[in-house]
Amino acid sequence: MTVQLHGLIAEPARIEAGSGGRRWRIREQPDLAVFAGAAWPPLVSTLLWHREARTVEDGVDYLGDPHELLDPALMPDLHVAVDRLAKACLGREVVAVLGDYDVDGVTSTTILVEGLSQLGARPLSYLPHRFTEGYGPNANAVRFLHGQGATVLVTADCGTSAVAEVALANELGMDVLILDHHTVPEELPDALALVNPKLTHSEYGSEPAACGVAYKVIHDLFDRLGVPYDPSEHRALVALGTICDLAPLVSENRDLVRIGLEALARSRRLGLQALAAEARVNLEEVDPDMCGWALGPRLNAAGRMDHAQHALELLLTTDEWQAKQLAMKLEELNRQRREETQLAFQRAAELLGPEGGRGPLVVVADEAISSGIVGLVASRLVEQYHRPSIVMQLADGEGRASCRSIPDFDITALLRRHPDLFKRFGGHRAAAGFTIDAARLEELRDRLTEDAGTCLDVTALAPTIEIDTELPLHLVNGDLLRWLGRLGPHGQSNPSPTFLSRSVEIRRSRAVGKDGSHLQFQLKEGRVTWSAISFRNAEFAVPDGERADIVYTFRRDNLRGTLQLEVLDLRPAR
């Protein structure tokens, strides 16, 4: 049924069956009269509507150049943090920078250490060891940094929940500045400055990752001290950290990533050049996929498998030989990470059994799953079962967990409804972490599963692929691809446009990958032929010469430097 509502919806959303129990949801198709006279193709108008554009002016604004960045003065307590850091720089104080061990934390720490050093302070970096210290500040780290002469403690990508640790730093006479972006708990630490755009009174209007917060602080600090500042290399790190932390790529974040990717393509940072060389990618062709699938996992592998200090040293080094050695180290750690993640995922599936993915929440706890990869395993379980998933390592009477969620469920809100269960916890809507007394594991499983069951209808939790619109392959041309490119960069909250093409001929299909789980093939429609890859879909292969309906997006093959189709799902043509 078509609904003729001028400027609203011309055709409602509809559901079709995909493969393996998946659902294809073809989004509502708008009446495009509101975009009359637009310079772009009608297909782009549909995509703009799905990105909240409602007029030609909205579309021009979305497709145009990056906007002027938001006024940093709107971010809570930023001026307080900058005032204190300016004093520290002028007085050559020792400033401790305690960051997280993921890409966002490491890039944030790099920006702060480099900026403070250039402005006269004496920065002292500290990244906790994931396996012996866990996430965020801890009492021993605070005492150590105080013993090293630090008068200011800056947290990067952590600290919003560190009530006791900030109280200890205050007792020791340190001024604490928290630069973070995680969900705000009911009880806040008594820091001199809490710079977090998610605070309830924030008027900032965007949710940058911690690297974006750190960049804003350092940029404003240079301005405050009247020192010339070339932001290019730090903008490159902001793009990398924002993409890898799955921060929403809307509003200012999208602009930060757009200008940051341009800077990253020109980066002279030796560590990034060496890392790209080990990953066999060309940094000059960087895009979000390269950040999220090549550069980011290698930086993250340091903290997951050994110590994040290796990644920090790689970003900070000015020695070409050291950069190469550290990049090789991260390459090896990333190889180990891939192998261990696959084994751990198989172990999790065994523990769950055939009925384990039928409830509203997936919970796996085991001594054999390393705390360094619990988040990766949780992500794989979400993909497998389309349910919020919690994976934890049990060790020394404690469970250390990572949580990952589906778009319709706020996993951190779930934890916040049961704060008495945890020794500590924190996170944001899509991802969280916590520690718990292992003796309370069954209580946690029962309470969280019951709570999740009140919010989620398990009968509706089928994996669903959102499709923007139908796009036959023979209609794809260079002009359309250029317009599509202006909708990016794509990532969290701004996904790559997804299309449906029907009755496409399958050619030269073969299983690839170490376990043969991926499909590589060619797609032919009329005179048009495309190379394609489909990840973890080998079991749904359509024989050569037959026709299939495909759901796809466009993807750059960074190894070959060519554009290909990534087929998200396929089924025999009807």
Please say if the pLDDT value at position 444 is more than 90: yes
Distance from C-alpha of 464 to C-alpha of 429, rounded to nearest angstrom: 19
Please say if the pLDDT value at position 214 is more than 90: yes
> How is residue 110 written in tokens?
């790099």
For 259-317, write each residue's pLDDT tens digit.
999 999 999 999 999 999 999 999 999 999 999 999 999 999 999 999 999 999 999 99
> How is residue 422 written in tokens?
């945890």
Distance from C-alpha of 201 to C-alpha of 74, rounded to nearest angstrom: 10
Distance from C-alpha of 405 to C-alpha of 21, rounded to nearest angstrom: 19
Contact 529, 523 (CB under 8 A): yes
Please say if the pLDDT value at position 561 is more than 80: no
Please say if the pLDDT value at position 176 is more than 50: yes
Per-residue buried b or exposed e for 458-476, using 16+ beta carbons within 10 Å of the residue's own CB: eeebebbbbbbbebebeeb
| Residues contacting residue 149 through CB under 8 Å, at least 6 positions apart | 94
Please say if the pLDDT value at position 7 is more than 70: no
Q: Would you state the pLDDT for residue 112?
A: 98
Q: Would you state the pLDDT for residue 225?
A: 98
Please say if the pLDDT value at position 557 is more than 80: no
Please say if the pLDDT value at position 427 is more than 90: no
Please say if the pLDDT value at position 558 is more than 90: no
Please say if the pLDDT value at position 24 is more than 70: yes
Q: Would you state the pLDDT for residue 200?
A: 87
The whole-number average pLDDT for the span 101-107 is: 97
Q: Would you state the pLDDT for residue 106?
A: 98
**Amino acid, single-letter form, for residue 392:** M
Of 121-130, 161-170, 548-557, the least confident: 548-557
Q: Would you state the pLDDT for residue 457?
A: 84
Q: Which of 126, 116, 107 is nearest to 234 (CA)?
A: 107
Cis bond leading into 572, ω under 30°?
A: no
Contact 94, 148 (CB under 8 A): yes
Neighbour count for residue 199 (Cβ, 10 Å): 17
Q: Which secondary structure element, helix H or strand E, spans residue 264, and what is its range?
A: helix 251-265
The whole-number average pLDDT for the span 526-543 is: 92
The whole-number average pLDDT for the span 484-501 is: 94
Q: Are strands 424-427 and 122-126 parallel, antiparallel or unpaired?
A: unpaired
Give me Rg for the CA atoms of the chain. 24
Where is pLDDT greater, at 195 or 1? 195
The alpha carbon of 280 is separated from its chain's Cα centroid by a whole number of angstroms, namely 22
First to last CA, the chain: 21
Q: Which of 293, 219, 190 is nearest to 558 (CA)?
A: 293
Distance from C-alpha of 145 to C-alpha of 174, rounded to nearest angstrom: 10
Q: How confident is the model at residue 9 (pLDDT cuts 50, 70, 90)?
A: low
Domains of the chain: 9-64+465-572 (2.40.50.460), 72-328 (3.90.1640.30), 343-460 (3.10.310.30)
Q: How confident is the model at residue 3 (pLDDT cuts 50, 70, 90)?
A: very low
Q: Which secondary structure element, helix H or strand E, spans residue 569, and what is its range?
A: strand 562-572
Q: Which of 98, 220, 110, 200 is nearest to 157 (CA)?
A: 98
The whole-number average pLDDT for the span 453-482 is: 91
Q: Would you state the pLDDT for residue 4?
A: 39
| Residues contacting residue 189 through CB under 8 Å, at least 6 positions apart | 159, 160, 161, 162, 163, 165, 166, 167, 176, 178
Q: Would you state the pLDDT for residue 2?
A: 38
Q: How confident is the model at residue 207 (pLDDT cuts 50, 70, 90)?
A: very high
The whole-number average pLDDT for the span 384-388 is: 91
Neighbour count for residue 331 (Cβ, 10 Å): 17
Q: In what order do the strands lie in the sheet with 193-195?
A: 122-126, 94-99, 150-156, 175-179, 193-195
211 vs 69, 242, 256, CA distance in Å? 15, 7, 10
Distance from C-alpha of 239 to C-alpha of 272, rounded to nearest angstrom: 13
Question: Within 27-102, where are the H helices?
Answer: 42-50, 56-63, 78-90
The torsion defined by the Cα of 28, 29, 31 and 34, in degrees rounded to 10, comes to: 90
For 44-97, write each residue's pLDDT tens digit.
999 999 999 999 999 999 999 999 999 999 999 999 999 999 999 999 999 999
Q: Would you state the pLDDT for residue 559?
A: 62
Number of H helices, E strands in the chain: 18, 21
The whole-number average pLDDT for the span 133-156 is: 96
The alpha carbon of 220 is separated from its chain's Cα centroid by a whole number of angstroms, namely 26
Q: Would you state the pLDDT for residue 5?
A: 40
Distance from C-alpha of 317 to C-alpha of 338, rounded to nearest angstrom: 26
Distance from C-alpha of 377 to C-alpha of 387, rounded to nearest angstrom: 13
Q: Please, what is the average pLDDT of the chain? A: 94
377 vs 340, 344, 354, 371, 418, CA distance in Å? 10, 7, 17, 10, 23
Q: Would you state the pLDDT for residue 8?
A: 59
